[in-house]
Amino acid sequence: MTRPVRIALDAMGGDHGPTVAVAGAGIAAVRHPDTEFILFGDKAVLDPLVSEHPQLEPVTRVVHTNIAVRMGDKPSQALRQGRRRSSMWLAIDAVKQGAADLAVSAGNTGALMVMAKLCLKTMPGIDRPAIAGVWPTLRGESIVLDLGASIGADAQQLVDMAVMGAAMARIVFELERPTVGLLNVGVEEIKGVEEVREAGRILRELDLGGLEYHGFVEGDDIGKGTVDVVVTEGFSGNIALKTAEGTARQLGEYLRAALNRTWRARLGYLLARGALRMVWEKVDPRKVNGGIFLGLNGVVVKSHGGADAEGFASAIDIGYDVVRHELLDRISRSLSQAGTGMRSPAAGRVAS
Amino acid sequence: MTRPVRIALDAMGGDHGPTVAVAGAGIAAVRHPDTEFILFGDKAVLDPLVSEHPQLEPVTRVVHTNIAVRMGDKPSQALRQGRRRSSMWLAIDAVKQGAADLAVSAGNTGALMVMAKLCLKTMPGIDRPAIAGVWPTLRGESIVLDLGASIGADAQQLVDMAVMGAAMARIVFELERPTVGLLNVGVEEIKGVEEVREAGRILRELDLGGLEYHGFVEGDDIGKGTVDVVVTEGFSGNIALKTAEGTARQLGEYLRAALNRTWRARLGYLLARGALRMVWEKVDPRKVNGGIFLGLNGVVVKSHGGADAEGFASAIDIGYDVVRHELLDRISRSLSQAGTGMRSPAAGRVAS
């Protein structure tokens, strides 16, 4: 039997804190009996919650800290108050120390990114980590990155993201040569910003074995599933993600209202309820959850702050998957194949 | 009786060309009996199409040109081949010459923007035009700009867009003091790019009478309708728009498949069909159509390239509305109130 996957949880993060984190771990422990958990947070709160989950309790250790990063904290503030002692930092540090294989937090994204970078450091040749998420599409699922780790990206950083995203797609979707597209405002070669055009040129010329460069894609190509991996810088990636979530919620609301307006519609809803629920499950932002930080020397997963227990469990799932499949080793190998690890460190390209 | 609104149409633009443009004009002519049309394009094709619409024929003049900008043309190419003689240029020029009050085209966005800028010129103090669209939300409708007229924007350009978008919202939504938000990756003041933060500072300090500055909004706030006007630069605006369209189509597909899977679901669909259709009408990208170019000395409306006749008619509708309500005069007045018209033209800020 393979050794268990050891998961460090920032049990105090997210809008709902320990209740959701522990219940999420409970669900994940049932799904993956080969896991062990280290929960960081307030022991007085966590112990009773853990004891409610018979599958979780025997595989869980609680490490006490009474310091938690708040959702509204600025990253600098979070660092000042929480470095080396907050539940968020300790969960990440457990990965660095080799006590855990991955860390999961539903806390403040900015703080998590800053702490993860400071504690785990970026992989050789990588200036900035990126957040990658799995996005439901008409063809199945795609990986989209960066969902908001940093603002702006130069051509080489976009190429790095393409390589990292493809390595993840090979694992998560079991593809040999995933297709990769650069998000742009038009498919014609002329359009868009210089960095994106330049990244396109590099990807075409490199002709990497581990990915097939498709060209530019537009916002509506994400949902269509035109490519397996969509690459963009963090500002537009975050806006795309949140806009899609907003649109899904909006349509859900419209449907609810419309299906309640007449008796015919209400009766129709009763009959089609199961089918409608299946659709909602596919796109519910709470379910489609878990952004992986790529480019660090360690696996850190960001769960949606508003995720429920099921959502938090999904975030654990995706981390579990990449650890089981040795994502980091694969990314390293892909990056050195792409020559990225060997390029000279460009001054001024280091993210703030 | 007020004088008619005179509409110049690039009848050759869009994926479907003259068929959709003429049929769209036919619908608009029925809706607004106080309109007149000038159709630019191939007379041999257009004349028979126009004669199929009894309400359109008597108020329409066809001006022949056999040159049309193609959807795939680069703006430079379109200019070289189509300046002063393509259906697109001639429609815009009709506005400049005072022969028409607005121009509508479903053609290539880049070419339309370049031609409109060259022909009509920007308003005093405005460096770059922006494309504004009306977006369906849970609260009703909002205006979002820029949807892709230009890439990147400095703080002052974002402020100009806020002022222009608010002027449009006052007319289209009949609001006295529309709320305006700047699209960003987080609501906390610390996040996002410098230009957006700086624009926020300016808007707060200016404290303009014609708008209420709300602060930062995120992608999911668009669909929520958190503010009446959402301002962002063209790259992220275009990605937000296309991503929302893609998500709406994706959910539509999921629903269609799910409601056809079992006999219960099929029966439910039959009963709820009317309600479901109403939801779709609300968000159908073909229906929610018409991007207005703001900041030019003339009204130009871009219809979605893939719009059907109903969609094209919606684009005409929105142009008709702003002309009837003298949008341009209102924008001018708002800009001079905001002091924008008086600022010194900053070298190097002129869009390419």
From the list A148, A183, A255, the residue facing B185 with the nearest CB is: A148
Q: What is the CATH number of the domain that holds B220?
A: 3.40.718.10
Give which of B3, B8, B1, B7 is closest to B41, Cα–Cα: B8
Three-class HEC string of chain A: CCCCEEEEEECCCCCCCHHHHHHHHHHHHHHCCCEEEEEEECHHHHHHHHHCCCCCHHHEEEEECCCCCCCCCCHHHHHHHHCCCCHHHHHHHHHHCCCCCEEEECCCHHHHHHHHHHHHCECCCCCCCEEEEEEECCCCEEEEECCCCCCCCCHHHHHHHHHHHHHHHHHHCCCCCCEEEEECCCCCCCCCCHHHHHHHHHHHHHCCCCCEEEEEECHHHHHHCCCCEEECCHHHHHHHHHHHHHHHHHHHHHHHHHCCCCHHHHHHHHHHHHHHHHHHHHHCCCCCCCEEEECECCEEEECCCCCCHHHHHHHHHHHHHHHHCCHHHHHHHHHHHCCCCCCCCCCCCCCC
- Mean pLDDT over residues A64-68, rounded? 96
Q: How confident is the model at residue B188 (pLDDT cuts 50, 70, 90)?
A: low
Domain count across chain A: 2
Measured CA to CA, the distance from residue B94 to residue B92 in angstroms comes to: 5
Q: Quick check: A347 pLDDT over 60?
A: no
Indicate if A88 and A145 belong to the same structural domain: no
Measured CA to CA, the distance from residue A9 to residue A25 in angstroms comes to: 9
Cβ of B275 within 8 Å of Cβ of A283? The answer is no
B24: in domain: no
Alpha helices in chain B (DSSP H): 18-31, 43-50, 75-82, 87-96, 109-120, 155-172, 194-206, 219-224, 234-258, 263-283, 309-324, 327-337
Residue whose token pair is 């993201």: A161
* Contact residues, chain B, for A188 at CB < 8 Å: 72, 74
Indicate if A131 and A112 belong to the same structural domain: no
Q: How confident is the model at residue B348 (pLDDT cuts 50, 70, 90)?
A: very low
Residues A248, B247 contacting (CB under 8 angstroms): yes
3-state secondary structure of B301: strand
A303: in domain: no
Q: How confident is the model at residue B217 (pLDDT cuts 50, 70, 90)?
A: very high
Indicate if A94 and A178 belong to the same structural domain: no
Residues A69, A90 contacting (CB under 8 angstroms): no
Q: Quick check: B229 pLDDT over 60?
A: yes
Give which of B65, B75, B82, B83 is closest to B18, Cα–Cα: B65
Q: CA-CA distances (angstroms) from residue B77 to A288, B71, B107, B110, B126?
A: 44, 11, 14, 11, 26
Indicate if A87 and A197 belong to the same structural domain: no
Strand pairing of A102-105 and A5-10?
parallel
Measured CA to CA, the distance from residue A74 to residue A80 in angstroms comes to: 10
* Contact residues, chain A, for B248 at CB < 8 Å: 247, 251
The values of phi and psi at residue A309, to 5°, are: -60, -40
Question: Can you give the pTM of this predicted structure?
Answer: 0.88
Instruction: Tell me how close the Cα of A63 comes to any Cα of chain B, in angstroms.
Output: 31
Indicate if A283 and A168 belong to the same structural domain: yes
Residues B164, B128 contacting (CB under 8 angstroms): no
B79, B135, B243: best to mutate for the A interface, most A CBs within 10 A: B243
- pLDDT tens digit sequence for B241-292: 999 999 998 988 998 898 898 999 899 989 988 888 888 877 776 666 789 9
B217: in domain: yes
Give me the pLDDT at residue A348, please. 34
Kindly list the strands in the beta sheet with A102-105, ordered across the sheet, starting from the edge strand earlier in the chain.
A60-64, A35-41, A5-10, A102-105, A299-302, A291-294, A130-136, A141-145, A229-231, A179-183, A212-217
From the list A248, A254, A262, the residue facing B282 with the nearest CB is: A254
Give me the pLDDT at residue A71, please. 86
Structure tokens at B227: 């503010």
Of the three residues A65, A100, A120, the one that is the final residue of a domain is A120
Indicate if A4 and A152 belong to the same structural domain: no
A216: left (phi over 0), alpha (psi -120 to 50) or beta: beta
Instruction: Tell me how close the Cα of B125 comes to any Cα of chain A, in angstroms.
Output: 25
Q: How confident is the model at residue A160 (pLDDT cuts 50, 70, 90)?
A: very high
Give me the pLDDT at residue A187, please. 54
More confident residue, A337 or B219: B219
Give me the pLDDT at residue A287, please. 66
Of the three residues A104, A120, A136, the one that is the final residue of a domain is A120
A250: in domain: yes
A309: in domain: no
Give which of A311, A273, A294, A278 is closest to A133, Cα–Cα: A294
More confident residue, A348 or A197: A197
- pLDDT tens digit sequence for B18-77: 999 999 999 999 999 999 999 999 999 999 999 999 999 999 999 999 999 998 888 889
Distance between terminal CA atoms of chain A? 43
Indicate if A110 and A73 belong to the same structural domain: yes
- pLDDT tens digit sequence for B6-23: 999 999 999 999 999 999
Size of interface A-B (CB pairs under 8 A): 218
Q: How confident is the model at residue B85 (pLDDT cuts 50, 70, 90)?
A: very high
Of the three residues A98, A120, A142, the one that is the final residue of a domain is A120
Instruction: Tell me how close the Cα of B238 comes to any Cα of chain A, in angstroms.
Output: 6
Q: Quick check: B159 pLDDT over 50?
A: yes
CA dihedral B33, B34, B38, B39 (to 10 degrees): -30
Indicate if A181 and A145 belong to the same structural domain: yes
Give me the pLDDT at residue A34, please. 94
A170: in domain: yes
Give me the pLDDT at residue A172, please. 85
Q: CA-CA distances (angstroms) from residue A336 to A182, A333, B84, B154?
A: 21, 5, 54, 38
- pLDDT tens digit sequence for A268-310: 989 988 888 888 887 776 666 789 999 999 999 999 888 899 9
Indicate if A245 and A270 belong to the same structural domain: yes
Indicate if A151 and A237 belong to the same structural domain: yes
Strand pairing of A5-10 and A35-41?
parallel
B152: in domain: yes
Chain A residue whose CA is closest to B217:
A239
Give me the pLDDT at residue A151, please. 85
B129: in domain: yes
Residue whose token pair is 């696996």: A299
**Radius of gyration of the CA atoms of chain A, in A:** 21
Q: How confident is the model at residue B341 (pLDDT cuts 50, 70, 90)?
A: very low
Instruction: Tell me how close the Cα of B219 comes to any Cα of chain A, in angstroms.
Output: 4
Range of the domain at A264: 126-288+326-352
CA dihedral B166, B172, B178, B182 (to 10 degrees): -50
Q: How confident is the model at residue B345 (pLDDT cuts 50, 70, 90)?
A: very low
Check: complex ipTM more than 0.95: no
- Listing DSSP states for B74-103 in one string gives -HHHHHHHHTTTBHHHHHHHHHHTTS-SEE
Structure tokens at B21: 């443009």
B69, B239, B287: best to mutate for the A interface, most A CBs within 10 A: B239
Residues A295, A160 contacting (CB under 8 angstroms): yes
DSSP letter (8 states) at residue B340: G
